[in-house]
Amino acid sequence: MSTHALADTAALTGRSLRHITRSPDTIITTVATPIALLLIFVYVFGGAIQTGTESYVTYLLPGILLITIASGIAYTAVRLFADLQGGIVDRFRSLPIGRPGVLWAHVLTSLVANAIALVVVVLVALLMGFRSPAGLPAWLAVAGILLLVTLALTWLAVIPGLLARTMDGASAFAYPLIFLPFVSSAFAPTATMPGPVRWFAEHQPMTSVVNAIRDLLAGRAAGPDLPVALAWCVGVLVVAYVAAMLVYRRRLR
């Protein structure tokens, strides 16, 4: 990417971030659902769910972090849809601005907003008793995985943002992503699930990501789930990026 394109993307990202600072309810809404789930499952259901020696809040946190990301990326689709419907993208096209910069600005804004939301959720978990013996390298690895998940799902969110006909339609795609962790190892061990549900839970991407983050936060050596999680994230990212760019070019013809 050229220096000119980087400057364009930075300027557009700044614009999008300013919109968030003027509407703090976006971040509040993003963290409200994950924190509510954290409170309900730890204090209502946690005593009835057997997960081994770990405290339930420690066991649960990786899945809640993924739900936080899934909740946050819905706003990327909504913001992009609003820009398209408001005509601002057409105005940008009349300026000497690189076309991909418009999408990258929304993606980078998503990374910043979701990072803030994730930090808030972790702080709440700490207040609820979450503790981790992991060192700095493990925490950096967890941050890297969450960054990669956010990047992949955000580019996935760009597609409905470009194709949706209503604002509700732009955000609705995120609902399956929010509920996917429920059918994984996020809330309970997959060994307790009936056959077909267990098979799906053990082979869907959220389980690998949850298990990899859980191992790292527990100070354990990353097992086979880590490369599987990374492969899922990279695969979704590549496919979503290519598809989003194709849809974007067709939309702006």
Residue range 129-146: average pLDDT? 93
Following DSSP, what letter does each residue of 177-213 receive, concatenated?
HHHGGGGTTTTS-GGGS-HHHHHHHHHSHHHHHHHHH
Higher pLDDT, 208 or 86: 208
Structurally, how many domains does the chain consist of?
Answer: 1
Q: Both tokens of residue 108?
A: 């980078």
- Judge residue 90's burial from the number of C-beta atoms within 10 Å of its C-beta, 0-12 exposed, 13-18 middle, 19 or more buried: exposed
Contact 10, 101 (CB under 8 A): no
Q: Is pLDDT above 80 for 89? A: no
Q: Is pLDDT above 80 for 149? A: yes
Domain assignment of residue 181, given as a range: 3-251
How high is the pLDDT of residue 94? 59
- Judge residue 102's burial from the number of C-beta atoms within 10 Å of its C-beta, 0-12 exposed, 13-18 middle, 19 or more buried: buried
The helix/strand/coil state of 65 is: helix
How high is the pLDDT of residue 232? 94
Q: Which of 1-5, 33-37, 149-153 has the lowest mean pLDDT?
A: 1-5
On average, the pLDDT of the chain sits at: 84
Residue range 131-150: average pLDDT? 93
Q: Dump pLDDT digits (tens) for 178-229.
A: 889 999 999 988 888 898 999 999 999 999 999 999 999 988 887 889 999 9
Higher pLDDT, 41 or 48: 41
Where does 110-166 show beta strands of DSSP type E?
A: none
Residue range 89-96: average pLDDT? 58
